[in-house]
Amino acid sequence: MTTGTYHRENLRETLLEFAERTVRRSGVEGLSLRQLARDANVSHGAPARHFRDKQALLEALALDGFQRLNQAMTDAAATSGSFDTRFRAIATAYVSFVVENAALLGLMYTVKHGADASETLVETGRRSMGATVALIAEAQAAGAVQSGDPERLAFVAFASVHGVAVLATSDMLDGVSVEEATDAVVDMLLSAIAAPGPLA
């Protein structure tokens, strides 16, 4: 332990953690740099040393969110099993992340869409679809999925699953459980994407 009040362990991560917690509890509009500084027992000017802007703080938060999301999806894609199983795993992972991080996801898309979004943020966000594209391309090669541009197929799938997730966080599924809704959409996607086989 050093002499006392000055140096912090690493303020940047501390601030991000508090920020994440605040966003989860009170939404983005409840986020204040000064309150964050108070949470971290630090003067109101300190955060500026680590984040030029409030916007920069939000960007860092969004980037972290995309990285965790991508990790969850690639992990899900790495499970062993049939194409259907793995595809469902990815979809479930995506929906779960969105449901458990609803406010953060809103922030993620807002910031990414913003005019001053950094290149790495946009790139990381775009990479979200990567695992799905790869899985579909692989399944195409194995003959389990109909031919066609894998990006296009992945886009359709990604959009549908994303829609379920968003509606789930908007209380629009009227009694239907999230799992049920996800399964319904995945069923439809799988039947629409499957290679036309001898089973007709």
Partner DNA sequence: CATTGATGTAGACAGTGACAACATTATGAA
Partner DNA sequence: TTCATAATGTTGTCACTGTCTACATCAATG
Among DNA, a second copy, none, partner that 106 touches (CB below 5 to 8 angstroms by kind): a second copy
Among 43, 67, 71, 147, binds DNA (CB under 7 A): 43
Rounded least distance, CB 119 to DNA, Å: 20
Q: Is 34 in the site for DNA (CB under 7 A)?
A: yes
| Window of 27-35, 78-86, 122-130, 137-145 that interacts with DNA by CB under 7 A | 27-35
Q: Which is nearer to a second copy, 43 or 110 (CB)?
A: 110
158 and 108 Cβ atoms separated by less than 8 Å: no
Q: Which is nearer to a second copy, 18 or 109 (CB)?
A: 109
Q: Is 191 in the site for a second copy (CB under 8 A)?
A: yes
Q: Is 200 exposed, middle or buried (0-12, 13-18, 19+ CB in 10 A)?
A: exposed
Which among 111, 108, 193 is positioned nearest to 158, based on CA atoms? 193
Q: Where is 27: in which H helix or E strand?
A: none
CA 166 to each of CA 30, 62, 102, 109: distance values in angstroms, whole numbers, following the listed order: 21, 17, 8, 12
Q: How many CB atoms lie within 10 A of CB 9?
A: 7
Q: Where is 178: in which H helix or E strand?
A: helix 178-193
The one-letter amino acid code at 67 reads Q
DSSP codes joined into one string, 91-147: HHHHHHHHHHTHHHHHHHHHHHHSTT--HHHHHHHHGGGHHHHHHHHHHHHTTSB--
Residues from 11 through 50 that contact a second copy (CB under 8 A): 27
Q: Is 63 in the site for a second copy (CB under 8 A)?
A: no
| Window of 43-51, 113-121, 122-130, 168-176 that interacts with DNA by CB under 7 A | 43-51
Q: Is 3 in the site for DNA (CB under 7 A)?
A: yes
Q: Which is nearer to DNA, 32 or 146 (CB)?
A: 32
CA 163 to each of CA 22, 26, 148: distance values in angstroms, whole numbers, following the listed order: 25, 23, 23
Binding region for a second copy (CB under 8 A): 27, 102, 106, 109-110, 112-114, 122, 125-126, 129, 151-152, 155-156, 158-164, 166-167, 169-174, 176, 181, 184-185, 188-189, 191-192, 200
Binding region for DNA (CB under 7 A): 2-8, 11, 31-35, 37, 42-46, 48-50, 52-55
